[in-house]
């Protein structure tokens, strides 16, 4: 088992669904192995698996069910507002690529939704409801 998979299983509740906005930090296959269903937004993946669902940008995000984690690539942080329907409805944990917390200009929406920076996991850092 890869180090990334172990980190996912330790950090998140993996029996539920996840959303990947971007490429999953280059670890999409590992994310697919860990979560029940993975919804990929915006970037058409080259991977084919039963539990992968691709949604084009502009799709109705209110149809998604039991989302517990959102993975956001660093190059997608300027579009975080696009994910607000999922964030407000499901209140998932958020994993953003990179060790450093988001700059204030990108994190305003996350803070306004009641989220706080939690910790760094090496490849990504996490945000959750309330302070850890």
Q: Round to whole Å and give the CA distance between 5 and 55.
A: 24
Average per-residue pLDDT in the chain? 89
| Measured CA distances, 33 to 8, 105, 117 (Å) | 10, 33, 26
53 half-sphere exposure, CB direction, 13 A CA radius: 14
Domain ranges for the chain: 3-129
Per-residue pLDDT of 35-85, as tens digits, reads 999 999 977 888 899 999 999 877 888 888 899 999 999 999 988 888 988
Pick the CATH number of 3-129 from 1.10.3720.10, 3.40.50.150, 3.60.15.10, 3.40.50.300: 3.40.50.150
Q: Please report which confidence band the pLDDT of residue 87 belongs to, taking 50, 70 and 90 as the band edges.
A: very high
pLDDT digits (tens, 9 = 90+) for 14-35: 789 999 999 999 999 999 999 9
């Amino acid at each position: 088992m890869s180090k990334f998979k172990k980190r996912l299983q330790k950090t998140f509740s993996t029996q539920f669904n996840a959303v990947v906005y971007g490429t999953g930090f280059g670890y999409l296959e590992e994310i697919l192995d860990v979560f029940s269903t993975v919804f990929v937004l915006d970037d058409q993946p080259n991977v084919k698996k039963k539990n992968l669902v691709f949604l084009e940008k502009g799709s109705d995000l209110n149809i998604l069910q039991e989302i517990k984690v959102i993975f956001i690539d660093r190059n997608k942080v300027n579009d975080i507002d696009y994910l607000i329907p999922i964030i407000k409805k499901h209140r998932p944990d958020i994993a953003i690529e990179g060790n450093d917390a988001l700059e204030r200009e990108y994190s305003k929406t996350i803070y306004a939704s009641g989220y706080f920076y939690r910790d760094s996991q090496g490849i990504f850092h996490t945000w959750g409801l309330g302070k850890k």
